[in-house]
Amino acid sequence: MCGIAGASGKDSVNSVKKMLEVIRHRGPDGSGIFLQGDIAIGNVLLKITGEKKQPISNIGALTYNGEIYNFREIAQALDLKTDSDSETLFELIKSIGIEAAVGESDGDYAFAYIENRKISLVRDPAGVKPLYYSMGNGFAFASEKKALSSIDENEIKTLKPGHMLTFCAGNIIEKKVAGFNSGEILAEENAAADMLFEAMEWSVKKRQFAPCAIAFSGGLDSSLIAALCRDAKLYSVGMAGSHDIEQTKKAARLLGLSDNLHLHELTMDELDAAIPDVIRAIESRDPMKVSIAMPLYFASKDSHRDGIRVLLSGQGADELFAGYKRYEAMNSLELGIALRKDLVNIAENNLERDDAVTMANSVELRVPYLDRNVVELALRIAPELKIYNGIRKYILRLAAGKILPDELVWKEKKAAQYSSGIYSAMEKIARKNGYRGALGRYLGELMKQD
């Protein structure tokens, strides 16, 4: 996991150096730059898998952010001895080309490959790892918008999930190279629940790391991950006396994991001091985005303090299995369309925010619900099994019931920004500073001051 950046043009090396300095928090363990003609690419490294330094080069060159979970199988097929997923991806691209390599890779990634004065950018199908680009004096890309803003005032665009962008001789071509397959609809609940549990079990297993942490709210989504990854530390964040604090204590006790629980009961002063940092990380003053990002910011900050570099979250479960209240009024056809739309938009709506706020603390976020097998299975499960008799996430609850106590399986979801007490606390802070009923305006003023 790391931060990546690149640029073309006569001053490309200096541009890359400047961008890497802006995203240094993404990779405290080292950095590197590779130059080919007037194209420079670089990275800052957060060392998790393997010892290989980046960018990797040999005729072509690769800079890469993410995790390829099946890299050992790929390396074996290539007769390659390595402990590095980045080296494996590089050799796979050299062997079969970029598009075929993407088809073979199971993971979450954003990477840039250069060869013959051509830059190719690729992003994983769910968009778990971010990648942005701009066209000003030359072409440039980076893992965070603020890196591009430091060198270019032109419009910054987002590479779409599952897409490859090719830049060559001033021209851009973008096309879709990865996605999620759908198959025969699953409408039998017992079979669907069994398959979903097995898929989640494998998804969590391949994302486990020692040591590992979970952003834990005590709800269904994070409780299932915790039950499947029992060695992980559980990080829970909320205002003192909030629903999340009480619920996580109860859930950890029901799971027999009370000793793993790390509670952080936020004070108003802590929250007040952190607001500018979160705004800077997610590059947004939107009150809802800031309030949702805040628990994850502190969970990753606390886990980093404890020497943990990998954090799992339940992101994606609501969009795949109909967790939001707004889904309840929809018929089956409408629900199926809405869920597919929300999956397409999850990167922009949620994943880019979550990546930014955790990487601000040099912690890699992994999202088991957005594993390719889990997503493709979810797309096959009939909408009628996702909301049944008014129960949202019905099929996920049945699957989770194989390992969770009933009290956690059937608990109703509460929105994180409200259950943590953070949104209302932010409103109080805004009011104290003279912005009664104008939280968004207050956050906007803080953003201007940065």
Q: Which residues are catalytic?
A: 2
Cβ pair 226, 313 in contact under 8 A: no
> Quick one: 64 exposed, middle or buried, by C-beta within 10 A (0-12, 13-18, 19+)?
buried
Pair of tokens at residue 269:
């002063």
**Residue 38 vs residues 57, 94, 219: alpha-carbon distances, Å:** 16, 22, 51
Pair of tokens at residue 227:
């039950």
Starting at the edge strand found earlier in the chain, the sheet holding 171-176 runs 56-58, 60-68, 107-115, 118-123, 163-168, 171-176
CA distance 403 to 400: 6
Q: What is the CA radius of gyration of the chain?
A: 22
Under DSSP, the state recorded for 3 is: E
Q: How far is CA 112 from the centre of its chain?
A: 18
Cβ pair 380, 185 in contact under 8 A: yes
CA distance 301 to 308: 10
* DSSP secondary structure string for all residues of 131-183: -EEEESSSEEEESSHHHHHTT--SPEEEPPTTEEEEEETTEEEEEE-------
Please provide the size of the chain in residues.
450
CA distance 44 to 348: 23
> Among candidates 286, 253, 332, which has minimal Cα distance to 447?
286
β-pairing, 310-312 with 364-366?
parallel
**Residue 327 vs residues 134, 341, 377, 411, 435: alpha-carbon distances, Å:** 36, 12, 19, 17, 34
